[in-house]
Amino acid sequence: MISYKELGLVNTREMFAKAVKGGYAIPAFNFNNMEQLQAIIQASAETKSPVILQVSKGARNYANQTLLRYMAEGAVAYAKELGWKRPQIVLHLDHGDTYETCKSCVDMGFSSVMIDGSALPYAENVALTKKVVRYAHKYDVTVEAELGVLAGVEDEVSAEESHYTRPEEVFDFVKKTGCDSLAISIGTSHGAYKFRPEQCTRDPKTGKLVPPPLAFNVLKAIEKNLPGFPIVLHGSSSVPQEYVDMIDKYGGKMPNAVGIPEEQLRKAAKSAVCKINIDSDSRLAMTAAVRKVLAEKPGEFDPRKYLGPARDEMKKLYAEKIVNVLGSANKAR
Ligand SMILES: [Zn+2]
């Protein structure tokens, strides 16, 4: 049993309380390799922003859960080396699917876990979440739960009203489970193809896809039933057109990639939404930078020569999100 406190990590409790009160959101960036982690820590240290390092199931399969945990421990030391005296870094399990996975993360030093029972019937989601909360809270590890289903491109069903979180359920769910934060569905979705072209309109000037707006009425109703309670948005990449264009220009092909416009995320960050998950945008930044180097210098074979620029591009992206979208800069001085 390793406590995250020994590793210099923090849980989300105080961080979220401050963010809800202060009208900003904490960035939750996924990582599965060293360059990504370096970029996240450099951007957070430079902007003095609290940050959540997320480990998904895919990342655990790709990089190994134990190794990622040690990388997060290293990240705290690295942050201090960069001059960030009191780094506020959370190591969070993204989309934990079983009690056992959550338990093993609590036991190995994660400071926060998500149990995603959103695909289960309501009563089963309550029971599973409650079980995880009971274990995690023994070690002062915070728990994120989920109500409502996010649409993905692979889904046959589109993001209809029926998939949104039902505001009438949230109070009962939080009361019964004791979870510390709640991921909701108001129209965000995972991946770089968040909406099908037929769900979007087209900008007459540029011909680019304009996604449907988020369901702020649902968010408002949730806030009314859970005043001041920390809300989480998954699938909140913006899919910057500059990266999609760069990828296409240097031999890639990503037609109709579309994300959540930043002005909508800015608006959400000012509400009870206090954690915003961003993953795809960093993948796009990395891929765009790697493609550019390899296209321009076909003889290059030193990975540092393309992973280095990729890291710089990701750092730029993370800092831009912190400063211009989430508003979390200077909140962890
Ligand atoms: Zn997610």
Nearest-angstrom CA–CA distance, 324 and 258: 20
94 is catalytic: yes
Q: Is residue 331 part of a domain?
A: no
Q: Is residue 226 part of a domain?
A: yes
Phi, psi (degrees; rounded to nearest 5) at 328: -95, 5
Tally the domains of the chain: 1
Nearest partner of 183 among 58, 330, 4, 16, judged by Cα: 16
Nearest-angstrom CA–CA distance, 23 and 318: 19
Range of the domain at 288: 4-326
Q: Is residue 127 part of a domain?
A: yes
Q: Is residue 333 part of a domain?
A: no
Give distance in angstroms: CA of 30 to centre of ligand 1: 10
DSSP E strand boundaries for the chain: 26-30, 51-55, 89-96, 112-115, 142-147, 181-184, 201-202, 209-210, 231-233, 273-278
Task: Tell me how far CA of residue 18 lies from CA of 13, 48, 70, in angstroms.
Answer: 9, 15, 28
Give distance in angstroms: CA of 190 to centre of ligand 1: 6
Q: Is residue 258 part of a domain?
A: yes
In this predicted structure, the answer to whether residue 10 has a pLDDT above a threshold of 60 is: yes
Q: Is residue 332 part of a domain?
A: no
Give distance in angstroms: CA of 4 to centre of ligand 1: 23
What pLDDT digit, counting tens, does each position of 44-90 carry?
999 999 999 999 989 999 999 899 999 999 999 999 999 999 999 99
How does residue 322 score in pLDDT terms, banded at 50, 70 and 90? very high
Question: With contact defined as beta carbons under 8 Å apart, do 132 and 96 qualify?
Answer: yes
Of the ranges 18-27, 57-66, 206-215, which one carries the lowest mean pLDDT score?
Answer: 206-215
* Candidates 94, 116, 279, 281; catalytic one: 94
What pLDDT digit, counting tens, does each position of 159-200 carry?
444 489 999 999 999 999 999 999 999 999 899 988 888 889
Count the helices and strands in the chain (H runs, E runs).
12, 10
In this predicted structure, the answer to whether residue 158 has a pLDDT above a threshold of 60 is: no
In this predicted structure, the answer to whether residue 272 has a pLDDT above a threshold of 80 is: yes
Task: Kindly report the average pLDDT of the chain as a whole number.
Answer: 94
Which pTM value belongs to this model?
Answer: 0.95
How does residue 317 score in pLDDT terms, banded at 50, 70 and 90? very high
Contacts of 227 (CB under 8 A, 6+ apart): none
Q: What is the CATH number of the domain that holds 195?
A: 3.20.20.70
Give distance in angstroms: CA of 297 to centre of ligand 1: 36
In this predicted structure, the answer to whether residue 155 has a pLDDT above a threshold of 80 is: no
In this predicted structure, the answer to whether residue 29 has a pLDDT above a threshold of 90 is: yes
What pLDDT digit, counting tens, does each position of 110-132 carry?
999 999 999 999 999 999 999 99
Give distance in angstroms: CA of 183 to centre of ligand 1: 9
In this predicted structure, the answer to whether residue 153 has a pLDDT above a threshold of 80 is: no
Q: Is residue 267 part of a domain?
A: yes
Task: Tell me how far CA of residue 177 lies from CA of 99, 122, 129, in angstroms.
Answer: 14, 12, 6
In what helix (H) or strand (E) does residue 274 lie, and over which residues does it extend? strand 273-278
Q: Name the more confident of 291 and 149.
A: 291
Give distance in angstroms: CA of 59 to centre of ligand 1: 13
* Both tokens assigned to 162: 């029926």
Give distance in angstroms: CA of 54 to centre of ligand 1: 10
Give distance in angstroms: CA of 295 to centre of ligand 1: 32
Give distance in angstroms: CA of 296 to centre of ligand 1: 35
As beta bridge partners, residue 28 has 52, 277
